[in-house]
Amino acid sequence: MSEPKLRLAELADAQQIARMSRDLVEVGLGWSWTPDRVRRSIQCSDTVVLSAHDDPRMRGFAIMKILEEEAHLDLLAVDPSYRRAGLGRRLVRWLEESCTVAGSSVVYLQVRASNPGARAFYQALGYRCVAHLPRYYQGIEAANRMARDLSAG
């Protein structure tokens, strides 16, 4: 298995990102990260959409909104066959470096409370739970809000 290359997503990637979101992240929920929503994110000046490609296939992606002092990791997915190989970590670290350059010092994200694997992944990257959000996902499922202070190193 070769190491996927990271690059900024292009409009042509929107369909594949949306499909991966639907199939890997939004399982059991309504499809909210549609191709149109992903395209708008790619075109938005305060949002970075990063993709990982092992040509010709996309193996992962991440979407982060970078604001003045904080950032929000809105979505992250890695192809199951590429999990536990460091790709998710590479995507997150690339985006965190972008945040630091942009002046954002804290990254927030929401993760399903029922997903211990994802929570452990983010904890291993230095994120900590800062809030529990009942019925966060479409009124169906709870989330944990997690945060990482980038200024702490």
Preceding omega of 116 cis (within 30 degrees of 0): no
Number of domains in the chain: 1
3-class SS letters over 29-89: CCCCCCHHHHHHHHHCCCEEEEEEEECCEEEEEEEEEECCCEEEEEEEEECHHHCCCCHHH
CATH code at 145?
3.40.630.30
Q: What is the pLDDT of residue 1?
A: 62
- Per residue in 75-120, pLDDT (tens digit) is 999 999 888 888 999 999 999 999 998 889 999 999 999 999 999 9
- Domain interval for residue 123: 5-152
Convert the pLDDT of each residue in 29-55 to its tens digit: 889 999 999 999 999 999 999 999 987
Q: Extract the tokens encoding 17.
A: 């990102």
